Structure 1
Amino acid sequence: MRLWSLHPQYLDSAGLNASWREGLLAKNVLLGNTKGYANHPQLIRFKNSPDPNLYIDAFLTEIYKEAVRRNFSYNKEKIRVIENIPSIPVTKGQLEYEYEHLRRKLQKRSPEFLVKLPVLTELKPHPLFETIEGEVEDWEIIT
């Protein structure tokens, strides 16, 4: 499961689709509808939020909005559209780690998308997150 801290605009089609599916899986985990993945590290920041179910829907809302921007057809009925809630902090180190992780994935599966990816001096987080100083998050599994 990868719930990207990066803005969804950086994801290729496969990455955006996977983020949608994995976000929906995370939603079911947080709702207690499945026993698998219950202790997955990517869920920690949602579990630590004031309302995990609200925050995962806010995460999915932004994935949905990016899909609409690209003319993809995602089922909006699977989420509550949530906007304008307090952000969750994410460290600059986490964003940098994820960006390099994404670049490695794109080299293999979508080199044409990688070429279009801008060289970034300041990474844009997923709109649910607010960048703070710091290293890679403690919950991240470094590969």
Structure 2
Amino acid sequence: MHPRYFDRQALTACWREGLLAQAVIAEPGRGYSRHPQLRRFRQADDPRAAIGDYLSAIADEADARGYHFARGKVRVTGAAERLTLNDGQLVYEWAHLRSKLRARSPDVWARWQTLICPDPHPSFVVINGPIADWEKVTPHTATEQPPEQGRAGESENPSR
């Protein structure tokens, strides 16, 4: 999902995990090479650019908040395509993040508590579909279904 919804902890964790994913994609024999979420990027025509673009959007959000993430660590950018993300997966990830926000960042949770389905990360375009088959579904968020109504900002910016 779009990093605007993240609290500080989620934003920094996403940056760290994204850098690790970038290293694994660049050097396939590295640890975590079988991590299921890497499939998202490996399906791209240029996986290294896809993860680089993903990281760049995280750094953009950090900049907007006055944080200083080391953009020099992003190795390659410029993927020509946006990756696809099932709406079921987006809703699942949103429910998971909201449960974390409620516990550790109540102010951030309160800001977004009524939002049913967030905008996707700028690297993704949402399509109709279920939770990804690689996802380890936990019971507290598995009951969430894709919304009947549109995503946040959909009417304002259809290119998202």
TM-score when scaled to structure 1?
0.89
Does residue 87 (structure 1) correspond to residue 109 (structure 2)? The answer is no
**What code does the residue aligned with 1:51 have?**
D
CA 1:33 to 1:43, structure 2 compared with 1: closer, same or farther past 3 Å? closer
**What code does the residue aligned with 2:4 have?**
Q
Partner of residue 71, structure 1: 66
Give the structure, 1 or 2, with the largest relative contact order (CA under 8 Å, sep 6 or more): 1
Partner of residue 109, structure 1: 104
Does residue 130 (structure 1) correspond to residue 92 (structure 2)? The answer is no
Partner of residue 48, structure 2: 53
Structure with larger Rg = 2
Alignment partners' CA distance in 1, 2:5 and 2:34: 27
**What code does the residue aligned with 1:136 have?**
I
Deviates more, 1:101-110 or 1:25-34: 25-34
Instruction: Note the residue ranges of structure 2 that are not aligned, 5 or more in a row.
Output: 139-160
SS at match of 2:84: strand
Partner of residue 21, structure 1: 16
In angstroms, what is the RMSD of aligned CA positions? 1.6
TM superposition shift of 1:33: 7.1
Of all paired residues, the percent bearing the same amino acid is 41
- Contact kept, 8 Å, 1:94 with 1:136, in 2: the verdict is yes
TM superposition shift of 1:137: 1.3
- Contact kept, 8 Å, 1:61 with 1:81, in 2: the verdict is no
TM superposition shift of 1:123: 2.2
Number of residue-to-residue matches in the alignment: 138
Partner of residue 98, structure 1: 93
Map Cα deviations across residues 70-94 of structure 1 (whole Å, 9 max, x no partner): 1101111111473573111101101
Alignment partners' CA distance in 2, 1:127 and 1:118: 21
Partner of residue 114, structure 2: 119
Alignment partners' CA distance in 1, 2:117 and 2:108: 19
Partner of residue 3, structure 1: none
Partner residue of 2:2 out of 2, 7, 10: 7
Deviates more, 1:87-96 or 1:133-142: 133-142
Alignment partners' CA distance in 2, 1:99 and 1:91: 12
Map Cα deviations across residues 78-130 of structure 1 (whole Å, 9 max, x no partner): 11473573111101101100000001111221112101115224420000000
